[in-house]
């Protein structure tokens, strides 16, 4: 029965992370925070009883973070 | 001045949308966890009750993904392949034979641990785990998509430690695109095979293999298409990674 | 008190938070001037949609959708259909992210920047 409360707390955490990503001026920091975002999502999926989806999200979150990091190297790191 | 106004207008619009949806439309949605709500009643009951017998897969998600909705997954795999193909096309204007990933190359051993000695063990177990996930996808958690991503992660770790003697593992970008196409082809051929024996597209019970029960044929078909999905996902991830890395090393050369 | 909070969350609260997350992602896509940040916000929006789909498949009192011997009634398992749909959606989102990054690098090559203002200004000058 307590599961909904945990989900709500995790969702609030996700919203806070999103606001940080939008306001941040350092793109590299944004990408690392995006990695944290995807791991929180993974916890959320496990709370919802979807371990298959959580497994996929864990692997895919790491790979998309790597893509972002190597793309930032060629493009700019700081944004206005 | 302009920018601030734009942000204000967009923020107000989003707030209005949120308020409208929260006060007007959320009441129409079913309560979370209600067993009698619309998404939990019609077809999903059939999937849960008859799925394990019909598809011979203990993991219901794999059964739905690979068997009941096999055509859907086929096109999703094709979309994944097309994404890798499109990345290779978009970034292919700077032609060069050999790429080297200087960004990931750590030649110095850090902290007394030699990376080149320890990493191959991790890669070995990662590959073993990927094979486990692939072949046990219908019994426990996992499946083709996860196994492909794990193999690609092993490749990324391999790139991280730089040049080893195992140059045979190297997949160049153009070769990786071809391998992705082979993955989609395995899926398609498995789907087309029952057509020659009087079945429909992706009807596994008409596959031309001899087994005692028909349900076993379903698990054989699922393993075939999961292999195709694994190869396609792995090749696509490697293609995108190498296209972006190649661009990185060329960018460094230009800025020297 | 606890049961009231839980019933409120189950009926409305979780959906509200998901809607807020979705529109935050959309707000980021609309207002951020940097293309890479737009891409990240698009991923966040996608995750809100995926989470909404998984909410619909929830079943109180159900276990994860892997069959256990002895349990065969449909109320004992969580609905596997949204899981199967969303699993492919997550993997395809990786493909779209990669393609977006590739296009972004071409934009950087052509215009020298990935800021929206600079790109629009240079595009106007070329006319």
Give the structural domain span for B199: 59-245
Give B60's contacts in chain C (Cβ within 8 Å).
65-67, 77, 80
pTM: 0.88
Identify the three-state secondary structure at position B227: helix
Which of B32, B141, B247 lies closest to A52 in CB terms?
B141
Tell me if B140 is assigned to some domain.
Answer: yes
What distance in Å separates the CA atoms of residue C21 and residue C13, rounded to the nearest whole number? 12
Tell me if B50 is assigned to some domain.
Answer: no
ipTM confidence score? 0.91
Nearest-Cα residue of chain B relative to residue C103: B90
- Per-residue pLDDT tens digits of chain A, which is 80 residues long: 567 888 899 999 999 999 999 998 899 999 999 999 999 999 999 888 888 899 999 999 999 999 998 888 888 888 87
Could you tell me if A13 and C26 are in contact, meaning their C-beta atoms sit under 8 angstroms apart?
no
Tell me if B36 is assigned to some domain.
Answer: no
Distances (CA, A) of C122 to A74, B70, B152, C115, C116: 20, 47, 38, 11, 10
**Interface subset of A 28-57, CB within 8 angstroms of B:** 51-52, 55-56
What distance in Å separates the CA atoms of residue A64 and residue A38, rounded to the nearest whole number? 10
Tell me if B37 is assigned to some domain.
Answer: no
| Chain C: closest CA distance from residue A15 (Å) | 6
What are the φ and ψ backbone dihedral angles of B59, each rounded to 5 degrees?
Answer: -80, 110
What distance in Å separates the CA atoms of residue B37 and residue B31, rounded to the nearest whole number? 8
Give C55's contacts in chain B (Cβ within 8 Å).
32
Interface touch C36/A21, C-beta < 8 Å: no
Give C93's contacts in chain B (Cβ within 8 Å).
none
pLDDT tens digits, B36-86: 888 888 888 888 888 888 888 888 888 888 888 888 899 999 999 999 999
Give B146's contacts in chain A (Cβ within 8 Å).
55-56, 59
Query: Nearest CA to A53 among C60, B203, B143, B96?
Result: B143
Query: Nearest CA to C81 among A44, B79, A7, B40?
Result: B40
Number of compact structural domains in chain B = 1
**Interface subset of B 162-221, CB within 8 angstroms of C:** none
Identify the three-state secondary structure at position C61: coil
Residue A77 tokens, joined: 């790191």
Could you tell me if C22 and C45 are in contact, meaning their C-beta atoms sit under 8 angstroms apart?
yes
DSSP secondary structure code for residue A67 in this structure: H
What distance in Å separates the CA atoms of residue B76 and residue B79, rounded to the nearest whole number? 5
Interface touch C58/A49, C-beta < 8 Å: yes
């Amino acid at each position: 029965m307590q599961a909904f409360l945990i989900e709500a707390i995790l969702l609030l955490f996700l919203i806070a992370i999103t606001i940080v990503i939008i306001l941040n001026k350092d793109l590299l920091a944004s990408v690392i925070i995006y990695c944290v975002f995807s791991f929180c999502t993974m916890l959320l999926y496990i709370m919802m009883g979807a371990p298959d989806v959580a497994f996929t999200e864990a692997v895919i979150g790491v790979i998309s973070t790597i893509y972002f990091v190597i793309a930032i190297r060629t493009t700019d790191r700081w944004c206005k | 001045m302009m920018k601030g106004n734009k942000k204000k207008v967009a923020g107000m619009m989003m707030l209005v949308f949120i308020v409208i949806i929260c006060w007007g439309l959320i009441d129409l949605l079913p309560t979370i966890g209600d067993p009698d709500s619309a998404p939990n009643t019609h077809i999903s009951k059939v999937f849960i009750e008859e799925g394990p017998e019909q598809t011979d897969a203990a993991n219901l998600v794999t059964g739905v993904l690979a068997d009941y909705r096999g055509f859907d997954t086929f096109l999703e795999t094709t979309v994944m392949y097309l994404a890798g193909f499109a990345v290779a096309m978009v970034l292919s204007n700077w032609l060069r034979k050999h790429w080297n990933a200087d960004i990931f190359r750590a030649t110095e051993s850090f902290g007394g641990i030699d990376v080149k000695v320890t990493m191959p063990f991790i890669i070995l177990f990662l590959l073993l785990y990927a094979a486990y996930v692939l072949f046990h996808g219908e019994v426990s958690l996992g499946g083709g998509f996860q196994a492909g991503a794990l193999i690609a992660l092993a490749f990324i770790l391999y790139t991280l430690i730089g040049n080893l003697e195992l140059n045979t593992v190297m997949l160049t970008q153009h070769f990786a695109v071809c391998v992705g196409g082979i993955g989609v082809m395995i899926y398609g051929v498995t789907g087309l095979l029952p057509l020659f024996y009087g079945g429909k597209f992706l009807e596994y019970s008409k596959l031309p293999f001899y087994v005692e029960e028909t349900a076993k044929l379903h698990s054989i078909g699922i393993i075939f298409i999961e292999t195709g999905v694994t190869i396609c996902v792995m090749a696509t991830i490697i293609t995108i990674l190498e296209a972006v890395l190649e661009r990185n090393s060329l960018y460094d050369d230009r800025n020297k | 008190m606890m049961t009231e909070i839980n019933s409120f969350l189950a009926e409305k609260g979780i959906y509200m938070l998901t809607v807020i997350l979705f529109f935050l992602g959309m707000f980021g896509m609309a207002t951020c001037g940097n293309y890479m940040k737009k891409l990240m916000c698009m991923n966040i929006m996608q995750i809100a949609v995926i989470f909404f789909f998984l909410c619909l498949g929830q079943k109180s009192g159900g276990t994860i959708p892997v069959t256990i011997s002895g349990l065969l009634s449909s109320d004992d398992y969580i609905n596997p259909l949204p899981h199967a749909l969303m699993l492919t959606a997550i993997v395809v989102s990786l493909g779209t992210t990669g393609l977006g990054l590739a296009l972004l690098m071409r934009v950087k090559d052509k215009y020298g920047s990935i800021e929206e203002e600079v790109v629009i200004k240079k595009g106007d000058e070329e006319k």
